[in-house]
Amino acid sequence: MLMKIRRIGVLVLAVLLIAVLVFGSFYNVSEQQNAVVTMFGEVLRTDTAGLYFKVPLIQQVRLVDITTHGTGIGYSVSPSGQNITNSMDGIMITKDFNLINIDFYLEYKVSDPVAYLYNSQEPEEILKNIALASIRSTVINYTVDEAMTTGKSAIQAEVKEKMVQELSEQNIGIQVVNITVQDAEPPTAEIIRAFKEVETAKQGAETNINQAHKYENQQIPAAEAEADRIVQNAQAQKATRVAEAEGQVARFNAMFDQYILNPLITKQRMFYEAMEQLLPGMKVIITDGETQTMLPLDSFAD
């Protein structure tokens, strides 16, 4: 009896395993989807709508929604369906330096399932950042009146063109279907005040930077001039000392030439000159020791 129960259990498990393998070998792709089939991390193919077979436990299938999706730029939708303004994304600066609260509705879809799955981790977030950058770089070229009235169509077309080009370069597998201006109006007084405070802070920072540059530009030439003056003084002192040294050398050479010609006379002259420098008030009387000399009379005349 026990053996019979075991056989039945093994049979049931075998049937279940076969059923899992059989049902796990087929997958269905709807009209709104594409399927990316991979094996050991390598993409094998992309399947459109239909019923397909895959090797169970080895090949993996990831379904990608290829229908058109929409999202708001500059606002979000509450659970009750009400639009909530996102001031961080919706407030733009116009060509005439005014602020405008402008909202866009972006429609997009997956154009390349493989690139969508594997070329980036968060393709929708990248799409949003590209949209914001394209919108800001476009609105800045229009006045506030144009952005609120006659310039909407041109803004939409320009933003879409920029996004198409950027998405082509990024290659995240998403394409823009359409982007439209939902609403454009002046921002609230609170937002204007906050932006003015930010602009004031930026201007204050720029003023401080400019003052620092001005002080730097004033100090550097003065320091360079002082350095040049010190260098010139040093060079002048150097030239003076070199000239003095060369003069002394020339004087010594001249004296030496005279010494060679008349050593005794030169020695005596040098001795008398040295004594005059050491004892400037002394009177020198030269005598041969035999001629009778008299005291000088100039002291009695004083």
For residue 111, what are the β-bridge partners? none
Q: What is the pLDDT of residue 297?
A: 45
In the chain, the domains with their CATH numbers are: 22-64 (no CATH), 69-187 (3.30.479.30)
Whether pTM > 0.85 for this model: the answer is no
Q: What is the pLDDT of residue 282?
A: 61
CB within 8 A of 145, min separation 6: which ones?
Answer: none
Burial 224-253 (b: 16+ CB within 10 A, else e): eeeeeeeeeeeeeeeeeeeeeeeeeeeeee
Structure tokens that stand for 8 in this block: 């039945």
Rg of the Cα atoms in the chain: 50
Exposed (0-12), middle (13-18) or buried (19+): which is 173, by Cβ within 10 Å?
Answer: buried
**3-state secondary structure at position 70:** strand
Tell me how far apart the alpha carbons of residues 151 and 92 are, in angstroms, rounded to a whole number. Answer: 15
Q: What is the pLDDT of residue 302?
A: 46
Tell me the torsion sign for CA atoms 151, 156, 159, 164.
Answer: negative
pLDDT mean for each 10 residues of the chain (302 residues)? 66 62 77 94 92 87 94 80 73 87 94 95 94 94 90 94 95 96 78 68 84 84 85 88 85 77 75 73 61 51 45
Tell me how far apart the alpha carbons of residues 192 and 275 are, in angstroms, rounded to a whole number. Answer: 96
Q: What is the pLDDT of residue 123?
A: 94
